[in-house]
Structure 1
Amino acid sequence: MNTFQSIFDYNKKKKSILTLGTFDGVHIGHQKILQKLVKEAKASDLESILLTFFPHPRMVLKQDEKIQLLNTIDEKSKLIEKTGVHTLIIHPFDSTFSELSAEEFVKKILIDKLNLAKIIIGYDHKFGKNRSADINDLIILGKKYNFEVEQISAKEIDDISISSTKIRKALLNGNIELATSYLGHDYSLFGLVVEGEKNGRTINYPTANLKISEDYKLIPKNGVYIVSSFIDNKTVFGMMNIGNNPTVQGISESIEIHFFDFNEEIYAKEICVNLLSRIRDEKKFDSLDELKKQLDLDKEYSKNYILKI
């Protein structure tokens, strides 16, 4: 997959078929659209292009609202690549771009820069300054500039919207299996392993402390999870705690992973942690010994769960 960080970095080569949107989560609804895009591109000898934006438009237009996204832009890129899309364009969204009229967007961007032959778009898509134009305007502009418009049905759009909402709700409720069923892949957290308090070492449960730099990344409900990671070309399983470690008077929230049967040094490495299932809520114990007893039970439960995968 070819990736460009701006529309203006892309040099058109052949006629394109395009879809656009945020595609947060790249869940099963999104995947169906992208599969359709790739299939039609191959059938018509067109270049498949996904145009997305970063920052998310709401980060620019509604800065007073805290936004939580299922993917960082790097995570989203990797998921999109798996769909077979030929070209991903991640265009910076800013106030200047938001001022483009509908026709300016079509002529200057879609036609002049992206050499559009066909666009696959939701029936309820709004575009142009103040989102003033809709699918009917796009169809009229398609006739004027000689490109085809294929509408994504109301049912497909509703499914996508419902899926995104349910995924976020499921993660915030700690229902990992439900989120996975809508995503079509494991929900993951990507970050840098940093130094922690090292309290886990005193009870034989050393942990890798994960720092996620993107503050917009949605973090699931506090608690203990079964996880996996791919480190040094092998899959490693473990259990992860999201919370503030109340047993040792933790103050700030942290993400800590104890990997099973793993002794390699991974400080200062970036790792991706896949969430498989949630075990329990975070709990304050009366002593470190009580905490260790519970972790022993968690580990046994986790290993039995992993055997069934």
Structure 2
Amino acid sequence: MKIFNSIQEFSSPAKTIVTLGTFDGVHKGHKSILDRLITSSRASGCESLVLTFFPHPRMVLQQNSDIKLLSTIEEKAQLLEDYGLDNLIIHPFDLAFSRLTAEEFVKDILVDKLSISKIIIGHDHRFGRNRTANIDDLIRFGNEYGFEVEKISALEVNETSVSSTKIRNALTVGDIDTANTFLGYPYFMTGTVAKGKQLGRTIGFPTANISIKEDYKLIPANGVYAASAVIDGKEEHGMMNIGTRPTVGGTERSIEVHFFNLDKDLYDKEIRVSMHYRLRDEQKFESVDALKGQLHKDREATLAYFKDNPA
């Protein structure tokens, strides 16, 4: 897959079949449109192209929304690449872009820059300045400029009942089961292992402290989760704590993972940690010994989960 950091960077001698959107999380609700994009491009000999945007439009147009996203831009690119796309454009979204008229967007971008043969789009898609144009306008432009419009019907969209907003809401309350069902894969976070206070070592549960540089990445609700990561080509199981570590007087929120059968120096290593199951809320114990006893129970529960749910 070729990745372009703006529409202006894109270049291809072939005609394209295009879809566009934010695709946050690249979840089950996106699958039908991406599958149709790939199938149609292969059948026609055109190149498949996803046009997406960063920052998320709500970050620009609703600056007080403080939206958190399911995927960083790098994570989104990897998820889209897994579909077998030919091209991905990540265009910088700004106020100037939002003020393009519908016809400017169609002629100057879709037709002149992307050499569009077909666009595959949801029935309720709106575009152009103030989102005034709809699917009927797009079909009219298609007739005028010589490209096909393939509409994803309301029935197809409603069949999945999945949205990025629903997934964000589930993660915010720690409902990892619902989030993973809607995503079609375990929710994951990518970060660098940083040095912590190393308190876990003193009670027999050393942890990798995960530092995530993107402040817009959604961190699920505090709690203890069954987790996994592929490290040096091998899947490692463990348990993740998200929270402030109140038993040991912690105040800052952190993400820590204790891997069960791993004795490696992970400092400064970038890892992707997947979250499979929520064990419990984070809580303050009466003593460190009581915390240690609970961690042993968490370990047994996590091992049992992965035994019953092999990869």
Q: If the TM-score is normalised by the length of the shorter chain, which range does it land in?
A: over 0.9
C-alpha distance in structure 1 between counterparts of 2:261 and 2:273, whole Å: 16
> 1:141-163, CA deviations, whole angstroms, 9 ceiling, x for partnerless residues?
11110011111111333456643
Contact persistence 2:29–2:162 (CA under 8 A): no
5 Å-filtered alignment, 1:129-278, equals: 129-159=129-159, 162-278=162-278
Question: What is the one-letter code of the residue matched to 1:20?
Answer: L
C-alpha distance in structure 2 between counterparts of 1:193 and 1:79, whole Å: 22
Aligned match of 1:98: 98
Using the TM superposition, give the Cα deviation of residue 217 of structure 1 relative to its aligned residue in structure 2, in angstroms: 1.1
> 1:173-222, CA deviations, whole angstroms, 9 ceiling, x for partnerless residues?
22222211111111001111111111111101111111111111111111
Name the % identity.
55
Aligned match of 2:55: 55
5 Å-filtered alignment, 1:291-306, equals: 291-306=291-306
SS in 1 for 2:304: helix
Question: What is the one-letter code of the residue matched to 2:153?
Answer: S
Contact persistence 1:224–1:240 (CA under 8 A): yes
Question: Which deviates more from structure 2 when the two are superposed, residues 124-133 or residues 244-253?
Answer: 124-133
Contact persistence 1:16–1:117 (CA under 8 A): yes
Using the TM superposition, give the Cα deviation of residue 271 of structure 1 relative to its aligned residue in structure 2, in angstroms: 0.6
Question: What is the one-letter code of the residue matched to 1:84?
Answer: G
Say yes or no: does 1:45 pair with 2:45: yes
C-alpha distance in structure 1 between counterparts of 2:211 and 2:192, whole Å: 5
Aligned match of 2:66: 66
Contact persistence 1:12–1:113 (CA under 8 A): no
- CA spacing shift, 1:288–1:173, aligned 2, 3 Å: same
Using the TM superposition, give the Cα deviation of residue 122 of structure 1 relative to its aligned residue in structure 2, in angstroms: 1.1
SS in 1 for 2:179: helix
Question: What is the one-letter code of the residue matched to 1:282?
Answer: E
Using the TM superposition, give the Cα deviation of residue 236 of structure 1 relative to its aligned residue in structure 2, in angstroms: 0.6
Aligned match of 1:75: 75
Alpha-carbon RMSD across the aligned residues, in angstroms, is 1.2
Using the TM superposition, give the Cα deviation of residue 165 of structure 1 relative to its aligned residue in structure 2, in angstroms: 3.1
* TM-score of the superposed pair, with normalisation by structure 1: 0.97
C-alpha distance in structure 2 between counterparts of 1:158 and 1:24, whole Å: 18
Using the TM superposition, give the Cα deviation of residue 286 of structure 1 relative to its aligned residue in structure 2, in angstroms: 1.2
Aligned match of 1:307: 307
| Misfit runs of 4+, over 6 Å | none
5 Å-filtered alignment, 1:85-124, equals: 85-124=85-124
Contact persistence 1:30–1:160 (CA under 8 A): no
SS in 2 for 1:279: strand
Contact persistence 1:29–1:156 (CA under 8 A): no
SS in 2 for 1:51: strand
C-alpha distance in structure 2 between counterparts of 1:91 and 1:165, whole Å: 22
Question: What is the one-letter code of the residue matched to 2:89?
Answer: I
* TM-score of the superposed pair, with normalisation by structure 2: 0.97
C-alpha distance in structure 1 between counterparts of 2:261 and 2:162, whole Å: 40
Question: What is the one-letter code of the residue matched to 2:304?
Answer: N
C-alpha distance in structure 1 between counterparts of 2:254 and 2:63, whole Å: 26
C-alpha distance in structure 1 between counterparts of 2:8 and 2:138, whole Å: 22
Question: What is the one-letter code of the residue matched to 2:35?
Answer: Q
Using the TM superposition, give the Cα deviation of residue 249 of structure 1 relative to its aligned residue in structure 2, in angstroms: 1.0
SS in 2 for 1:8: coil
Contact persistence 1:31–1:83 (CA under 8 A): no
Using the TM superposition, give the Cα deviation of residue 269 of structure 1 relative to its aligned residue in structure 2, in angstroms: 1.1
Aligned match of 2:282: 282
C-alpha distance in structure 2 between counterparts of 1:31 and 1:40, whole Å: 14
C-alpha distance in structure 1 between counterparts of 2:105 and 2:227, whole Å: 44
Question: What is the one-letter code of the residue matched to 2:94?
Answer: D
C-alpha distance in structure 1 between counterparts of 2:14 and 2:176, whole Å: 42
Using the TM superposition, give the Cα deviation of residue 14 of structure 1 relative to its aligned residue in structure 2, in angstroms: 0.8
> 1:236-291, CA deviations, whole angstroms, 9 ceiling, x for partnerless residues?
11000000000011111000100111110011111100001010000101111111
> 1:123-172, CA deviations, whole angstroms, 9 ceiling, x for partnerless residues?
11111111121111111111110011111111333456643333222212
Question: What is the one-letter code of the residue matched to 2:37?
Answer: L
Q: Number of aligned pairs?
A: 309
Aligned match of 1:26: 26
